[in-house]
Amino acid sequence: MSRTAFAARFPDNAACARHLYEKRWPNGFVCPKCHGAKAWALDSKPFTFECAACGRQTSVIAGTIFHRSHLSLLTWFQAIYAIASHSNGISALQLQAQLDLGSYKTAWLMLQKLRRAMVDPDRSFLEDIVEVDESDIPYRTKTDPIAGGQGRSAVGKLHFIGAIELSPEGHPRRIRLAPLENFSATSIGAFVAGAVAPGTTILSDGFSAYKSLKAYNHQPKVVGKMAAHIVLPWVHRVFANFKRWALGTYHGVRKLHLRRYLDEFVFRWNRRRHMKSSFDMLLNIAASLPHAGYRDFVNQVV
Ligand SMILES: [Zn+2]
């Protein structure tokens, strides 16, 4: 969708509300309390409907991430468009400038809320053949742009784990990335169990943590001193791309929010061939997630 097409389709709040209404209730309004189908639009409150049966008032943004935001629905739609149409993503500073937002904090919170909507709750497990490995990235603090050195030491670095699904012919398909607390079999096993379908062939570096994955057909790939990026080329390409992207777009990741950066990268990678649908995808998930506030993100409860 071009910028002009977007502006023509969503010229004002009413157009956004209508679109959201049709997404949420494609077969007509349904009261969330009594499931009644008859309702009136209120004149006194924008985009709010009162159930004819039980009197419950329901706003079109209730039960979405737009709820309790002081920003207009149009601003939200513009943010989703900006995020979905920039192939590399945009930082909070860029979003603030582009949408003329009052503060950096507002832009930051908006980005956090939308990154949360980048994880599809209905996504399916990776299958067929999956390369899995771990990596790490130096993190950014407030006082120091990048903590940690270039060496092998894990001090000042955040661990993460990744998996990439390959077709039986060896073509790369979808990926998953997640922060990794440590290299224990429990941590690694939890990621694999949550991302990869049982019975899948797993290619790994032969690290002992993978040997305990009984539900999978494990094929250790590293023999002797062969480098992991040679025997597991795809997952290492993903790691390299993620690091370049995090440094280029965001100038490094912050310790507290690694998961969100990984989620955004996964979202972009998995949609790299159909970016056109990213706007709809992001909007659909945003419309189905309940509200979360600033504290929820800072305390990482969402
Ligand atoms: Zn009702």
Query: 103 and 31, same structural domain?
Result: yes
CB 235 within 8 Å of CB 133: yes
Residue 83: inside a domain: yes
Cα 42 to averaged position of ligand 1 atoms, centre (Å): 14
Cα 41 to averaged position of ligand 1 atoms, centre (Å): 13
Query: 84 and 141, same structural domain?
Result: no
Cα 29 to averaged position of ligand 1 atoms, centre (Å): 10
End-to-end CA, the chain: 30
User: Within 13 Å and on the Cβ side, how many CA atoms surround 239?
Assistant: 22
Cα 49 to averaged position of ligand 1 atoms, centre (Å): 10
Residue 124: inside a domain: no
Cα 133 to averaged position of ligand 1 atoms, centre (Å): 51
- Which residues span the domain enclosing 145? 129-267
Q: Based on C-alpha coordinates, what's the Rg of the chain?
A: 22
Residue 242: inside a domain: yes
Query: 214 and 91, same structural domain?
Result: no
Cα 289 to averaged position of ligand 1 atoms, centre (Å): 21
Query: 144 and 38, same structural domain?
Result: no
Query: 210 and 96, same structural domain?
Result: no
Cα 252 to averaged position of ligand 1 atoms, centre (Å): 48
Residue 275: inside a domain: no
CATH number at residue 235: 3.30.420
Token duo for residue 23: 């997404």
Predicted pLDDT of residue 149: 47
**Nearest CA to 32 among 296, 283, 288, 285?**
288
Cα 254 to averaged position of ligand 1 atoms, centre (Å): 45
Query: 24 and 61, same structural domain?
Result: yes
Predicted pLDDT of residue 251: 83
Cα 33 to averaged position of ligand 1 atoms, centre (Å): 5
CA distance 193 to 216: 10
Extract long-range pairs of 137-141: CB within 8 Å, 24+ residues apart: 137/242, 137/243, 137/246, 137/252, 137/253, 137/258, 138/252, 139/252, 139/253, 139/254, 139/255, 139/258, 140/251, 140/252, 140/253, 140/254, 140/255, 141/254, 141/255
Model confidence pLDDT, tens digit, residues 248-278: 888 888 888 899 999 999 999 998 888 778 9
Cα 53 to averaged position of ligand 1 atoms, centre (Å): 5
**Residue where the block lists tokens 């390409």:** 237
Query: 173 and 85, same structural domain?
Result: no
Query: 261 and 134, same structural domain?
Result: yes
Domains contained in the chain, number: 2
Residue 40: inside a domain: yes
Cα 69 to averaged position of ligand 1 atoms, centre (Å): 25
Residue 278: inside a domain: no
How many residues are recorded in the chain? 302
Residue 174: inside a domain: yes
Token duo for residue 288: 């189905």
Token duo for residue 135: 């990596």
Cα 24 to averaged position of ligand 1 atoms, centre (Å): 16
Instruction: Give the three-state DSSP class for 57.
Output: strand
Cα 57 to averaged position of ligand 1 atoms, centre (Å): 8
Predicted pLDDT of residue 150: 47
Cα 70 to averaged position of ligand 1 atoms, centre (Å): 27
Give the amino acid at 25. W
Cα 48 to averaged position of ligand 1 atoms, centre (Å): 13
Cα 50 to averaged position of ligand 1 atoms, centre (Å): 8
Query: 87 and 134, same structural domain?
Result: no
CB 57 within 8 Å of CB 43: no
CA distance 51 to 33: 9
Cα 293 to averaged position of ligand 1 atoms, centre (Å): 27
Residue 283: inside a domain: no
**Residue where the block lists tokens 């999956």:** 130
Give mean pLDDT in consecutive 10-residue pieces for the chain, a chain of 302 residues: 93 95 93 94 91 96 93 97 90 94 95 94 94 91 50 66 96 96 93 96 87 88 70 94 92 86 94 85 93 89 87
Cα 39 to averaged position of ligand 1 atoms, centre (Å): 8
User: Within 13 Å and on the Cβ side, how many CA atoms surround 263?
Assistant: 18
Query: 77 and 161, same structural domain?
Result: no
Cα 20 to averaged position of ligand 1 atoms, centre (Å): 20
Cα 17 to averaged position of ligand 1 atoms, centre (Å): 20
CA distance 151 to 42: 63
Predicted pLDDT of residue 275: 76
Query: 154 and 89, same structural domain?
Result: no
Cα 45 to averaged position of ligand 1 atoms, centre (Å): 17
Question: C-alpha distances in angstroms, 273 versus 87, 145, 282?
Answer: 11, 33, 16
Query: 258 and 147, same structural domain?
Result: yes
Cα 286 to averaged position of ligand 1 atoms, centre (Å): 24
